Amino acid sequence: MIEIIAAIDIIDGNCVRLTQGDFGRKTVYSEDPLEAAKRFEAAGIKRLHMVDLDGARSGKPANLHILERVAGRTGLIIDFGGGIKSEMDLEAVFDSGAAMANIGSLAVKQPERFLSWVDKYGRKSILLGADARDGNVAINGWQTSTGISIFDLLAEFAEKGVMSAFVTDIGRDGAMSGPSIELYQQIIRSVPDLELIASGGVRSISDVDHLQRIGCSGVIIGKAIYEKSIGLEELSRYVG
């Protein structure tokens, strides 16, 4: 069964969504991330993907107080990312209540440090985030193209013990244009040992059904829930 992972992105303490990572195309959906998290939990969702967009911009986690509040007042399993650059940052994220840290650009730029964290904290505690544009990895808030194939990156990390990754097709994120099914199928075929979490573009429950059929282990859903193109009750078959 595919795992449903609700998304909360935070700017200035508010729950927001960006379109294709563009801070100029921001929609504020809730002033209180805790209330959004409680709604997800009440619907049976058990997992939350929390991104500190202020931290991603500044290079250091900026919303740990919100993480601590959500972790302390819900039973959600939270993966948290945004601005994690050092082991001190990582420890602070775990101390604030996250079960997992999601790491993106640093994994690409400093793979040995990233893998040392996987070894130290465990494969279940470190979640790789890989963002793709036209099949290549992009970093630094999607602004920098690396020229590295997404397939090569995932295969290399899987060989070195990384258990799961979420992959975002940048062109689809927040666009409500459907998930990148072909990309995910190619990844599943080329890196079969990796637990693949789909991220970006989900617009309907049929998209979730399709991602389950092709073998994704999880799906991150944000805008579709906030825009009510997927009702929380529709997800009941996956969160019971």
Catalytic residue among 52, 131, 173, 207: 131
CA atoms of 73 and 96, how far apart (whole Å)? 12
Give Cβ neighbours of residue 81 (< 8 Å, ≥ 6 apart).
50, 51, 52, 56, 101, 102, 103, 104, 127, 129
CA atoms of 71 and 60, how far apart (whole Å)? 20
Active site residue 89: no
Tokens, residue 109: 């730029």
CA atoms of 226 and 229, how far apart (whole Å)? 8
Is the CB of residue 18 less than 8 Å from the CB of residue 174? yes
Active site residue 9: yes
Distance (Å) of CA 76 to CA 29, 44, 100, 135, 174: 20, 10, 12, 32, 23
CA atoms of 175 and 224, how far apart (whole Å)? 10
The catalytic residues are 9, 131
